[in-house]
Amino acid sequence: MIVPLVRAAADTSGGKAGPLGALLRAGLPVPDGFVVPLEAYRRAVVLRGRAPGPSGRSDGVRDRLESRALSAELLAALGPAVDGLGDVPLAVRSSADDEDTGQTSAAGRYESVLAVRGVAEVVKALRACWVSLHSSRPIGNRGPGAGSGHGDPAMAVIVQRLVDAEIAGVMFTPASEDDDTTIEASWGLGPSVVGGTVTPDSYRVATDGSIVRTIADKRTRIDRAGDRLRTSAVPTPDRSRPTLDNATTARLVQLGRQVAAVLGGPRDVEWAIAGGRIWALQARPITARPPGSTGAALGTSAALAGTPGSSGNATGPARIVRGPRDFALVRPGDILVCPFTDPAWTPLLRIAAGVVTQTGGILSHAAIVARELRIPAVLGVPDVTEKLRDGVTIAIDGDFGTVTTVGW
């Protein structure tokens, strides 16, 4: 009923846990933990041929997951497993069998709960992960071909020691021997980079070790404060201070090469640094690579410029969306202009002609989903929601990161 993370495999422990197990077996730095496997979820749901309801999920599944007591067998196993990790904060993370596949990243689709401590809180977080498989958000975002190919998707759950990161980010390992490694980094825990709530530093590292740096204005950070996460302002001197020195950048590149070698191909790696030690937190297939350009083309007269996030060009009305209350305003063909996106915004990206964000980098949620949907994206355009007028026609270039008003 409990699988040590070092023994995890995708067919029993889901798409996120399987690669982590392989990395641990290879001796790479992954926080210790265990997995509540797919079979435990299936036993809790007890589908047994129950037909999907009109919402696209089996009738009553969510209610059963929220209300039914966990089996005595699972509860008996959870206690020693949690105690074995020590009295430390934990990360409880989804590992569905349709997550982190070669076709879709499912970026942020399911629940993760950080800063969990003790068996009772682990049980609560475990339920949250299970239930997220049946929430309207993932069902609405689940595209054709999702799932394991064996019926309804199932959810395994990873429980790991939480890394109280001083610096965290994402790395794309090279697609070929002569390709660059791309790294994005910011202060604090990784959700700010993955979620696009901060524009991170960017590092492109060539095979000869040369580095092209773009140091961002990193205004906020996320840290653990007891049993919760806290977003705070970054002190002014640190906003423009580089997060990584050359030596640390080189260590990350080496870790990326090791991860790719173990898993058999290029990977999108989430990482964290605490006390000078680098940890790999996630390693999924790269479903679509970012544009090769690092900024606006020379000689352009673009009104606004940001980071190229997803290749292509689009022209259409700018639709300023500052939050969920504005979702209903978006129409097919609009250019979505917003502070950042999270998984709740994915249905908008499916109908938009392109996306422009105020914060975020090429490895954020908005960028990854835009590339998978093959729509252009321009990221990290300062104050773009204030500088553009709703409804004005704009042209965006996702290869060079430019935003231009049309007819002005």
Catalytic residues: 365
Q: Please give the torsion angle defined by the CA atoms of residues 330, 333, 339 and 344, in that order, rounded to the nearest 10 degrees.
A: 60
Query: What is the Cα–Cα distance from 69 to 154, expressed in whole angstroms?
Result: 18
106 contacts: CB under 8 Å, gap ≥ 6: 15, 96, 98, 99, 100, 138, 141, 146
Amino acid at 161: R
Query: What is the Cα–Cα distance from 382 to 342, expressed in whole angstroms?
Result: 18
> What are the tokens at 54?
């009109």
Half-sphere exposure of 399 (CA within 13 A, CB side): 7
> What are the tokens at 154?
């199932």
The beta-strand segments (E) located in 19-75 are 33-36
What CA–CA distances, in Å, run from 339 to 119, 223, 320? Answer: 37, 21, 9
Query: What is the Cα–Cα distance from 289 to 292, expressed in whole angstroms?
Result: 9
Short-list 23, 61, 31, 56, CA closest to 44: 61
Query: What is the Cα–Cα distance from 390 to 35, expressed in whole angstroms?
Result: 47
Half-sphere exposure of 155 (CA within 13 A, CB side): 25
- Secondary structure (DSSP) of 153-208: --EEEEEEE----SEEEEEEPPSSTTPPEEEEEEEB-THHHHTTSS--EEEEE-TT
Largest Cα span, the chain: 68
Half-sphere exposure of 158 (CA within 13 A, CB side): 35
Give helix 10-25 / helix 246-263 axis angle, nearest 10°.
130
